Amino acid sequence: MALRTIRLQGDEILGKACREVKEITLRTQILIEDMLETMYENEGVGLAAPQVGILKRIVVIDVGDGPIVMINPRILSSDGTQTGGEACLSLPGKAGQVTRPNHVVAAAFDRNMQEFTIEGEELLARAICHELDHLEGHMYTELVEGDVYDVECEEE
């Protein structure tokens, strides 16, 4: 396993849509392991493949309940709303207020290309929406209400 370099906002790869994964090769397995390691090292709750420069529809998430790997994920349904602070490893030290669904149901494939569904509320719902947006080339900053603020400055 190895840490991958996280692409920062402004890098054109973060604005591109990702391709579907058709089969899990050894390279894909290594990519997923590296994404998990990179996410944990940087204390993120999620990471999408384009953030490490790979235009594939793969995201990893861990909101504190263990790693979730989602390949070719899609949202099946969502409801409710939540507004809260959101941040991204591609924009370190910053955060902003974003409104997201409070509850989502998503489908994806796991590392063995077995399809599964997952239900998320609150932080997990937010993380799923945030990471799936990356696969379409979107950053949370496009949705921020008000200004993107400095996280350090917020802590008095």
* List of residues contacting Zn ion (CB under 5 A): 88
Q: Could you confirm whether 115 is annotated as catalytic?
A: no
In the complex, minimum distance from the CB of residue 134 to Zn ion, in angstroms, rounded to a whole number: 6
For Zn ion, the closer CB: 9 or 24: 9
In the complex, minimum distance from the CB of residue 131 to Zn ion, in angstroms, rounded to a whole number: 7
> Which residue is closest to Zn ion by CB?
88
Catalytic residue among 131, 136, 145, 154: 131
For Zn ion, the closer CB: 88 or 125: 88
Determine the Cα–Cα distance for residues 14 and 135; give it in Å rounded to an integer: 8
For 76, other C-beta atoms within 10 Å of its C-beta total: 11
Say if CB 38 and CB 10 are below 8 A apart.
no
For Zn ion, the closer CB: 14 or 108: 14
Using CA atoms of 117, 121, 125, 126 in order, give the dihedral in degrees to the nearest 10.
-170
- Stated as kind and residue range, the H or E segment containing 135 is helix 122-135
What residues are labeled active site?
A: 131
